[in-house]
């Protein structure tokens, strides 16, 4: 008789533990829809289909660690915006490093110099 009670008690405890663990796993916050840590507001063009606008929207929609890097924009001198992103990286630091390198590669590829000096991380999460 005692063995039957022990088994039912053990099963109840295990069930409670599994429910507790699944509730904690479900409460882990997704990063999708979050703008993350904004260092400065990114300057986005008026065309919603421009590459930087699409990249920024993809950054906000991503669910993992991501970063968005862009050039500073001076309306008087600069006529363009160059950006770089990394979506769903293993860590926030890795995402920032890759996004910054991507933006700087764009500066080299198109052989441009900005009045503000280059790329910087605008937002990361």
Rounded CA gap, 16 and 24, in Å?
13
Q: Are residues 3 and 51 in the same domain?
A: no
Q: Are residues 72 and 24 in the same domain?
A: no
Q: Where are the alpha helices (DSSP H) in the chain?
A: 2-26, 51-61, 92-109
- The per-residue pLDDT for 119 is 93
Q: Domain residues for 50?
A: 37-124
Q: Are residues 26 and 41 in the same domain?
A: no
8 A C-beta contact, residue 116 and residue 74: yes
Q: Are residues 89 and 52 in the same domain?
A: yes
Please name the residue that has the structure tokens 């088994």: 7
Total of domains in the chain = 2
User: What's the pTM?
Assistant: 0.75
Q: Are residues 57 and 90 in the same domain?
A: yes
Task: Write out residues in the chain with pLDDT < 50, as ranges.
Answer: 14, 18, 20, 22-27
- The per-residue pLDDT for 113 is 81
Q: Are residues 52 and 102 in the same domain?
A: yes
Q: Are residues 94 and 54 in the same domain?
A: yes
């Amino acid at each position: 008789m005692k063995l039957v009670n022990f088994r039912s008690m053990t099963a109840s405890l295990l069930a409670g533990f599994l429910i507790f663990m699944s509730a904690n796993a479900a409460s882990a916050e997704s990063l999708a829809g979050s703008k993350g840590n904004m260092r400065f507001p990114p300057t986005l063009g008026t065309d919603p289909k421009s590459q930087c606008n699409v990249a920024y929207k993809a950054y906000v929609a991503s669910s993992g660690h991501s970063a968005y890097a862009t050039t500073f924009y001076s309306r008087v001198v600069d006529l363009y915006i160059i950006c770089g992103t990394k979506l769903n990286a293993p860590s926030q630091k890795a995402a920032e490093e890759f996004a910054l390198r991507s933006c700087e590669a764009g500066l080299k590829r198109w052989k441009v110099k900005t009045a503000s000096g280059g790329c910087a991380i605008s937002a990361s999460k």
